[in-house]
């Protein structure tokens, strides 16, 4: 399986001492325009280190946006889409 598209970013620690990361977990084709959409997850859980800062331990759901829709990779139902309220 080719995973050359996969990436991870370490964004450092925010002002409250929480480590922030982003990662691309999947690529999909937008069903409306056929553009490639990255499904990206951000840090959503941390554990406290001895120095008081919070270390990343888990990502939230991978999300992407295109053509007025948000796409979410659900481990049980596959990729789901939701229309944005303002349609942009």
Q: Is residue 88 part of a domain?
A: no
Domain that holds residue 44: 7-83
Residue-wise pLDDT for 54-75, tens only, equals 999 999 999 999 999 999 998 8
Closest CA to 41 of 20, 60, 56: 60
Write down the pLDDT at residue 75.
83
Q: How far apart are CA 6 and CA 20, in angstroms?
A: 18
Q: Is residue 24 part of a domain?
A: yes
pLDDT above 90 coverage of the chain, percent: 77
Write down the pLDDT at residue 82.
92
Q: Is residue 13 part of a domain?
A: yes
Number of domains composing the chain: 1
pLDDT at 3 over 70: no
């Amino acid at each position: 399986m080719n995973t050359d598209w996969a990436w991870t970013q370490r964004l450092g620690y925010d002002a409250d001492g929480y480590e922030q990361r982003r990662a691309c977990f999947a690529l999909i084709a937008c069903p409306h325009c056929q553009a490639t959409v990255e499904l990206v997850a951000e840090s959503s859980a941390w554990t406290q280190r001895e120095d008081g800062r919070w270390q990343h331990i888990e990502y939230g759901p991978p999300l992407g946006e295109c053509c007025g829709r948000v796409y979410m990779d659900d481990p049980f139902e596959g990729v789901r889409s939701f229309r944005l309220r303002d349609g942009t």
